[in-house]
A and B are shown apart, each in its own frame.
Chain A
Amino acid sequence: MTQWKERLRVFLFPPETDVWLGLLRIGLGLQVLFYALSLRADWNYLFAGPGEGLIGRALPEALLSTESPLIPRLDWLVMLTTRIGFSESTALSIVWWVLLFAGCCLLIGFFSRASAILAWFVHLCAAESGGFISYGVDNFMTIGLFYLMLSPLPDRYSLDHRWRKLRSKNPHLLGFFRRVLQVHLCLIYFFGGVAKCLGSGWWDGSNLWRALIRPPFNLIAPEILIRLKYMFPVAGIAICLLEISYPVFIWNRKTRGIWLMCICAMHAAIGLTMGMYLFAFIMIVLNTAAFGPDLGLAPSEKLVRATLS
């Protein structure tokens, strides 16, 4: 029992450098910026109050209240801002600027922890109030930002480290939160892979064809895609196997590089061929932060790790 406990402790709390945390912070900073900028023109239209915008946020927020009144939502921020005297439209614009600001601060690592909390909270409010218009990218951004704000910031690449001389003190805590991200990614791909394996369309390739010709993902003309029809079954099966075997091969040092490269290539392909750029980017960021730093360690990095061990 004691040996088992010790093994668990060694697995969950390995001494770790903050390289992965730097990658995660910079990646999520960029992601928050891209997210905010991509929705700039439609922000007020998508998240408007009752009687305005596309569908407004009233219904999703009402449904959210039936689940729990404590789940963050845009209405809280809008109410806070309108009480000062701003209009609803201005309040929404302010929220957008706050998100952009939080993204910029995250990117450069200025007040890293506060920026991570701010970005997580504002994005979460938008994702929850969006309700019917939220999709996978919002989930993964929430996951990433949630882990980032809990992790022992700042990292060595941040302004906090260089200018304010703040240090991330606990290498075991760094190791723990990296493990959390790693295990979570393994579960994401494993269950995603299992669910895909249960559908006939991934074995005969028809799901890939459908995904690529279905609006609004139909960036490539079907006349071009049809020439690749013999590749669809192979690619469909490859995706299933890649995802379901991710938790096995990503831990093995010999296969980690190839699996990480394949999974990032898969996400890049999804982004480029289906227009899901934000989704692709967040997945690449999470994967790179979780499993990337161990690949091709620089001699200085090896030294730091050896010292920490």
Chain B
Amino acid sequence: MLRQQRVLLAWFVLHFVLIITISCRDIVWLVAHKLTILPAPFRAAAQKVEPIAANVLGDKLSTSNPFRRALLTYLHIAGIDRGYGYFAPNVPAGYKIVFELHYPDGRVEYELPAVNSGAAGLRVATLLDEIGRTRYDPLREYIIKTLAASIWRKHPGVKTVRAVFGLLNLPTPAEFEHGKRESYDFLYAYDFSRAEEPAKTENH
């Protein structure tokens, strides 16, 4: 083989080993976390396999490790930093956020995060999914606080803002035929006031 072909072959192997490892890691994670239809023995096996993929991808290394940083940089610039399980194994639940705007005169208005185009609307839905998925409470609170701040800038006269975050319940086809429609379950509420006080949180 020519030298150029050897270099390209090495890159090809490395590139696709990474893609396969990441894709396998995602699927193994789904199995290990009981999100699939596979029975219990598969879950136990998946839990054993999980650390292998993590080792290959340098997840166990320190965040300042140069190898880990170089690898993560490559994964991001090549667009291969995540797997391809879109809408899999099942279509995830949707989320909704509503802001209650409390004015000094006692008036209450309701507002949703608004954008100008459908393309941006899809991105807002992605953001809500991220908020709903995160298990790290301070991160969720920070993002919702930032969203509340964007609402506040549009309505500077508001005294307090209450952000209510809910989970969307979708009816099955059979339930829909019997008159059931989409509904929301309360998940979290955050109260923000003008002063830089920490938000008061309510959980379901």
Could you list which residues of chain A lie within 8 angstroms of chain B, going by C-beta atoms?
A: 5, 8-9, 12-13, 35, 38-42, 45-46, 51-56, 59, 66-72, 124, 128, 130, 132-136, 138-143, 146, 172-173, 176, 180, 183-184, 187-189, 191-192, 194-202, 206-207, 209-211, 213-216, 222, 226, 229, 232, 275-278
Contacts and interface: CB of A to CB of B under 8 A. Distances in A.
Given A192-B85, A195-B26, A215-B94, A146 B79 contact: yes
A80 to B, nearest CB: 18
B119 interface: yes
A124 B77 contact: yes
Contact of A146 (B77, B130, B168): B77
B90 A207 contact: yes
Contact of A216 (B23, B116, B125): B125
15 contacts: A12-B12, A46-B120, A51-B149, A139-B82, A146-B78, A183-B16, A188-B84, A191-B27, A198-B89, A199-B36, A207-B87, A210-B91, A211-B91, A214-B168, A278-B119
Contacts of A53: 150
Interface in B119-165: 119-127, 130-131, 142-143, 146-147, 149-150, 153
Contacts of B90: 199-202, 207, 210
B15 interface: yes
A198 B36 contact: yes
B77 A8 contact: no
B65 to A, nearest CB: 10
Given A45-B115, A210-B91, A132 B85 contact: no
B79 A139 contact: yes
Nearest to A145: B79
B27 A133 contact: no
Tell me whether chain B's interface is mostly helix, strand or loop, or mixed: helix
B84 A135 contact: no
Given A70-B69, A132-B130, A187 B182 contact: no
Contacts of B124: 54, 133, 216
Interface string B19-35: 11001101100110001
A9 B1 contact: yes
Nearest to A71: B76
A232 B176 CA distance: 15
A130 B123 contact: yes
B80 interface: yes
A2 to B, nearest CB: 11
A41 B1 contact: no
Contacts of A222: 176
B12, B85, B87, most chain A CB atoms within 10 A: B87
A38 B119 contact: yes
Contact of B23 (A46, A187, A213): A187
B172 interface: yes
Nearest to B150: A54
Contacts of A146: 77-79
B52 interface: no
B143 to A, nearest CB: 6
Nearest to A232: B173
Contacts of B126: 132-135
A52 B152 CA distance: 11
B143 A59 contact: yes
A229 B1 contact: no
Contacts of A276: 122
Given A139-B79, A188-B84, A195-B89, A55 B30 contact: no
Interface in B94-116: 94, 96, 113, 115-116
A196 B76 contact: no
B88 interface: yes
Given A54-B146, A184-B19, A192-B85, 20 more contacts: A40-B117, A42-B117, A54-B113, A54-B124, A54-B147, A55-B127, A68-B73, A132-B126, A133-B126, A135-B126, A143-B80, A173-B8, A191-B83, A192-B88, A195-B26, A195-B30, A195-B85, A210-B90, A210-B91, A275-B118
